[in-house]
Structure 1
């Protein structure tokens, strides 16, 4: 009877929190405001129900630095760096940096979007494998005169990129946090800090698949 109760409680916990045994590491890079770490941690736990572990900060890898149009760091290089780094029992890792990020934006055919000079090194707020185990988010270029707006933008970017790691693509639903920003900050500001019902259903299906 005692064991049956314990099993029942565990099943109830899973139903409310998704997969409690899954862990995501938050990896701050040098210069990231540590006062923001708890905010990101609690937001991921609230939206996805995953355990979140904050790591000690590390230096940005020099090989990710690029200076094509502006000095910044390649987001794709950073997520590969994080993917290949040993995080022990962690299932996912999200890098957090104050530095500007960029990557090469491509069209549906996999070619550099036109005009190539604009998109060969395109600035981004974050990036994540879809699906995958690593993502990165930046606080650069999301500043606002209102601190609450800045915090809201950071939360949405982190939830969006981690959603990609979990297998969620961009969503066509208006105001869903997984909506493509379409190169506009207003899209991020207008989005709600939650998954739409379609994305929730997709995520539930992904978690149940073998």
Structure 2
């Protein structure tokens, strides 16, 4: 009897595993993004999340997202909505890439625009992603032209925003890639290109 129950248990686990669908991350380049950079990112996503990666055909960044409040920028929150709405059904999450400056309105814990409002109403960002959700966007505009750190920063921000899509919030672990950048590129340089054990357990 015990042997039969064990066989049923194993069969149930096997059926469950075979029915589990591999997640597919889509990369949507906006404008000219270096192919080697996209390829490197794809390999990093596979390494960190073990997801399939599909690179979509490059297209122009939507003009409807352009604003010029403090400087010429594209609204990251509007891009997220477009990415989500235009995402192919075969893709679970989609990551937009651009070299243009992107911005959003930075909110406090109560959902109000942070003070001073003039500073945070149109706040330039490295990236933005729904938490949880289906889309995120990363801009290389603020990474500085330091070739030794550029690619590393790029990969870390992309992995961070995908983490938000998967439901991960900012992590207190100072070496985790999900650590809050706290408005500084230097914070990104200090984290590892990986999730801490606590964050990894949350997405399993």
- Common fold, TM-score beyond 0.5? yes
Aligned equivalent of 2:195: 195
Structure 1 CA distance for aligned equivalents of residues 106 and 86 of structure 2: 25
- SS at the partner of 1:25? strand
Structure 2 CA distance for aligned equivalents of residues 53 and 152 of structure 1: 21
CA drift at 1:30:
1.0
Compared with structure 1, are the counterparts of its residues 20 and 149 closer, same or farther at alpha carbon in structure 2 (3 Å cutoff)?
A: farther
Query: Contact conserved, 2:26 with 2:94, CA < 8 A, in 1?
Result: yes
Structure 2 CA distance for aligned equivalents of residues 166 and 80 of structure 1: 17
Structure 2 CA distance for aligned equivalents of residues 108 and 141 of structure 1: 25
- SS at the partner of 1:153? helix
Query: Contact conserved, 1:125 with 1:139, CA < 8 A, in 2?
Result: yes
Aligned equivalent of 1:56: 57
Q: Give the TM-score taking structure 1 as reference length.
A: 0.87
Query: Contact conserved, 1:44 with 1:159, CA < 8 A, in 2?
Result: yes
Higher alpha-carbon Rg: 2
Root-mean-square deviation (CA), in Å?
Answer: 2.0
- SS at the partner of 1:42? helix
- SS at the partner of 2:203? helix
Structure 2 CA distance for aligned equivalents of residues 20 and 98 of structure 1: 33
Q: Give the TM-score taking structure 2 as reference length.
A: 0.89
Q: Which blocks of at least 5 consecutive residues in structure 1 are unaligned?
A: 205-210
Structure 1 CA distance for aligned equivalents of residues 69 and 168 of structure 2: 31
- SS at the partner of 1:102? strand
- Comparing 93-102 with 28-37, which one deviates more in the overlay? 28-37
Aligned equivalent of 1:152: 152
Q: Deviations over 1:144-199 (max 9, x none)?
A: 33x23100000000000000000000111112100000001111000100101110
Q: Which blocks of at least 5 consecutive residues in structure 2 are unaligned?
A: 1-9
Aligned equivalent of 2:36: 35
CA drift at 1:52:
0.3
Aligned equivalent of 1:95: 96
- SS at the partner of 1:173? coil
CA drift at 1:201:
1.5
Aligned equivalent of 1:177: 177
Aligned equivalent of 2:125: 124
